[in-house]
Structure 1
């Protein structure tokens, strides 16, 4: 249980999240997050799924059965084409339109997709 707590804490810290923010994201309470990380309480299966989905890691990684964090999205490699209308719509939804970097981020993403095609 201590190793799982270390993994959960490491995941949270790798994203620069406080326990309070992690609790908010997962819909939990901060003291619960603290107990999980200290190894004094075990998250429910539902809460473990929330962690795995949020950080895109496998449950085996959380349980310290493997050091390979690959989750379901790591293996997913869509055939992304910058000229694809659906992909352009998806990219439009990815970035905050009120951000001063919105256009630059979209352009960069499209450029990266074009490079993948080559």
Structure 2
């Protein structure tokens, strides 16, 4: 597994997605996603952009491991981060309350 593959697996697991489910949501075959994740195939620049957009990261993080990978959190305030964290905790509590693993 190459570094891009490791980052793809890490990001997919952060989203609690299986490989087939992620591939379907991204709009690629599960075979291709598997090849990218295992390092058997390197995504071209357009595919890197597509994958980065799906996982809400910067293409440079995905391709080279550069920069903070949480692109959508890069310009929020500490107060906004706390509000987001509180909101995510409430979502998790609701899922547990209703016995739902993934929404």
Instruction: Give the TM-score, by structure 1 length.
Output: 0.57
2:29 matched residue in structure 1: 29
Deviation at 1:67, TM superposition (A): 5.1
2:48·2:63 contact (CA, 8 Å) conserved in 1? Answer: no
Q: Which residue of 2 aligns with 1:9?
A: 9
Q: Residues 69 and 39 from structure 1, CA distance in 2 versus in 1: closer, same or farther, beyond 3 angstroms?
A: same
Q: Per-residue displacement from partner, 1:88-116 (whole Å, max 9, x unpaired)?
A: xxxxxxxxxxxxx8xxxxxxxxxxxxxxx
Q: Which has the larger radius of gyration?
A: 1
Which fold has the larger relative contact order, with Cα–Cα distance below 8 Å and residues 6 or more apart in sequence?
A: 2
Partner residue of 1:113? none
Query: How many pairs are equivalent?
Result: 77
TM-score (normalised: structure 2): 0.64
Deviation string 1:25-77 (CA, Å, 9 cap, x unpaired) is 11100010110000010112222112111111111211234251142x33455
Q: Which runs of 5+ in 2 are unaligned?
A: 77-93, 95-103
Going from structure 1 to structure 2, the CA distance change for 1:68 and 1:76 (only over 3 Å counts) comes to: closer
Q: Is the 8 A contact 1:8 1:37 kept in 2?
A: yes
Who is 2:58 aligned against? 58
- Aligned-residue RMSD, C-alpha: 2.0
